[in-house]
Amino acid sequence: QITLTQQAESLWISPGERVSITCRASQSLLYTDGKHYLSWYQQRPGQTTKALIYHASVRTDGVPTRFIGSGSGTEFTLSIEHVQPEDFAIYYCLQTLKSPYTFGAGTKLELK
């Protein structure tokens, strides 16, 4: 199965800063259609899990433009510019290229 590695378990940042969360896959997530099957999710206590990004860089409806997905092949990044108080949460990457679909271990953004 494909392993996704999110090296940072926690990141401590201050509101207004920019942060990048990385996700490395054990094999390329590029499909023959030219798209990467990598998505990003946000989990906040008391809220439903929110999909932020799919196909590595496409923002889902209603997601603020400060959330930016990038990367290709096996290396992917979720960047958040000008972090807002509501962005302190856990972030996961997920690959849906091959079954079983697998998640990264999660990265928790914490207030510095």
Partner 1 sequence: EVQLQESGPGLVKPSQSLSLTCSVTGYSITSNYWGWIRKFPGNKMEWMGYISYSGSTSYNPSLKSRISITRDTSKNQFFLQLNSVTTEDTATYYCARGPGYPSYYFDYWGQGVMVTVSS
Given the rule CB under 8 A, which residues bind partner 1?
A: 37, 39, 41, 48-51, 54-55, 58, 60, 90, 92, 94, 96, 99-103, 105-106, 108
In the complex, the smallest distance separating the C-beta of residue 10 from partner 1, rounded to whole angstroms, is: 11
- Per DSSP bridges, beta strands 50-54 and 38-43 are antiparallel
Q: Which amino acid is at 5?
A: T
Q: Report the C-alpha gap between 38 and 47 in whole angstroms.
A: 22
Give the nearest distance from C-beta 66 to partner 1 in angstroms.
Answer: 20
Cβ closer to partner 1: 16 or 100? 100
Tell the smallest beta-carbon distance from residue 16 to partner 1 (Å): 26
DSSP assignment of 5-50:
E---SEEEE-TT--EEEEEEESS--B-TTS-B-EEEEEE-TTS--E
Nearer to partner 1, 13 or 94 (CB): 94
